């Protein structure tokens, strides 16, 4: 009897051991399908993305929407960049590029990858965001690029830069999105003073001279940004910047219709300095100009601005950035500390 029970116990332990081993192999086959066989032959969901195929398809879908932009002064070619066809009408095509690509041009020429060449009209420019819009005759152009939502991007996802570096038409480079909201100082009038801080996408996809104005796309072949700046110091590699598509979409509408971006007053009409309040940066008002927007909105000297549109101030240039990116007639909310009392001021931005 004891021998029977001993054999039974041994058998049970052996069976349990086999079950645990098979379970372990099954789990490993799910995690490492290339190295561990699926012994149960169960159907598996393939989570492996064929990056090569996705990249090729995205480039094929969009490369024709990226054009070369030639900057002429008189009959002299001064330089070239890239642009993106983003809108078609019955007889016109619209192209977005960088302001610095067309800056100083007496005329601009557009050349597509199919060889179609035509001179265009600069509809509007915006040095602050480094964007410009060009209108051309539609000709043989029959496709334009779709926009993606740049707010929904994830750091680490694959991105592709398409442009004309060194005049090499339709060049594409692959990288990842390194940062979604990288703040970069911008000096628009070259007076060595910071005019504003651009919130841009950062990528390690190679962006070289001539890529400016070209497209940064996702693997769906949709525009997520317009390539603009490149840090080209000898000890820096793989840092390229792109203007987010959501901002591009907003700016080009103004450039098309008004030729410029209508912005609110550069400042509210206050003098201020930055102080620390409860371990955060705050803006302390030390002057309110009579008759200014701040004065009409009820802001007072010694008020502390701690939030803008519900967001806590994190950087000393937050107020200027919010004003620069606000639209005329847009409402902004300022949370103010006044004599230890929290006050919210709703301010309508005026032109």
Q: Which two tokens stand for residue 112?
A: 């597509």
Active site residue 254: no
**Is residue 293 within a helix (H) or strand (E), and if so which, with residue range?**
helix 293-296
Burial pattern 279-292, b for ≥16 Cβ within 10 A else e, equals eeebbbbeebeeeb
Residue in 80, 82, 100, 242 annotated catalytic? 100
Active site residue 249: no
Residue in 29, 65, 82, 130 annotated catalytic? 130
Please count the other Cβ atoms lying within 10 Å of the Cβ belonging to residue 254. Answer: 19
- Cα–Cα distances (Å) from 207 to 67, 81, 212, 236, 241, in that order, read 15, 12, 8, 13, 8
Active site residue 130: yes
**Computed over its alpha carbons, how large is the radius of gyration of the chain?**
28
Please count the other Cβ atoms lying within 10 Å of the Cβ belonging to residue 227. Answer: 29
159: CB partners within 8 A, 6+ apart: 174, 175, 176, 177, 203, 205, 216, 217, 218, 224
Nearest partner of 85 among 67, 63, 73, judged by Cα: 67
Residue in 150, 169, 178, 212 annotated catalytic? 212
Pairing of the two strands 240-244 and 196-203: antiparallel
- Cα–Cα distances (Å) from 97 to 107, 202, 210, 291, in that order, read 14, 18, 11, 39
Inter-residue contact 206 to 241 (CB < 8 Å): no
- Cα–Cα distances (Å) from 31 to 25, 46, 203, in that order, read 10, 11, 30
Q: How far, in Å, CA of 185 to CA of 161, rounded?
A: 22
Catalytic site residues? 100, 130, 212
């Amino acid at each position: 009897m004891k021998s029977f029970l001993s054999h039974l116990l041994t058998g049970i332990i052996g069976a349990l051991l086999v079950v645990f081993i098979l379970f372990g192999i099954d789990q490993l086959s799910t995690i490492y399908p290339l190295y561990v066989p699926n012994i149960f032959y169960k159907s598996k969901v393939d989570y492996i993305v064929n990056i090569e195929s996705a990249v090729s398809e995205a480039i094929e879908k969009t490369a024709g929407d990226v054009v070369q932009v030639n900057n002429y002064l008189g009959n002299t070619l001064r330089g070239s960049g890239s642009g993106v066809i983003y809108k078609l009408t019955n007889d016109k095509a619209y192209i977005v590029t960088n302001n610095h690509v067309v800056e100083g041009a007496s005329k601009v020429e557009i050349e597509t990858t199919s060889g179609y060449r035509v001179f265009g009209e600069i509809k509007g420019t915006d040095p602050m965001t480094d964007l410009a819009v060009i209108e051309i005759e539609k000709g043989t152009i029959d496709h334009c690029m779709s926009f993606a939502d740049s707010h929904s991007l994830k750091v680490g996802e694959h991105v592709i830069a398409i442009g004309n570096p060194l005049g090499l038409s339709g060049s594409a480079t692959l990288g990842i999105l390194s940062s979604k909201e990288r703040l970069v100082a911008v000096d628009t009038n070259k007076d060595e003073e910071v005019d504003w801080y651009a919130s841009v996408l950062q990528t390690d996809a190679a962006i070289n001279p001539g890529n400016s104005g070209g497209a940064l796309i996702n693997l769906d072949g949709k525009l997520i940004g317009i390539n603009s700046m490149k840090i080209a110091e000898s000890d820096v590699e793989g840092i390229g910047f792109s203007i987010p598509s959501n901002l591009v979409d907003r700016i080009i509408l103004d450039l098309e219709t008004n030729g410029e971006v209508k912005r609110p007053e550069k400042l509210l009409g206050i003098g201020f300095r930055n102080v620390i309040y409860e371990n955060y940066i705050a803006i302390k008002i030390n002057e309110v100009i009579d008759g200014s927007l701040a004065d009409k909105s009820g802001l007072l000297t010694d008020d502390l601005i701690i939030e803008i549109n519900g967001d806590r101030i994190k950087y000393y240039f937050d107020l200027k950035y919010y004003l620069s990116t606000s639209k005329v007639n847009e409402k902004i909310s300022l949370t103010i500390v006044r004599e230890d009392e929290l006050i919210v001021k709703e301010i309508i931005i005026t032109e």
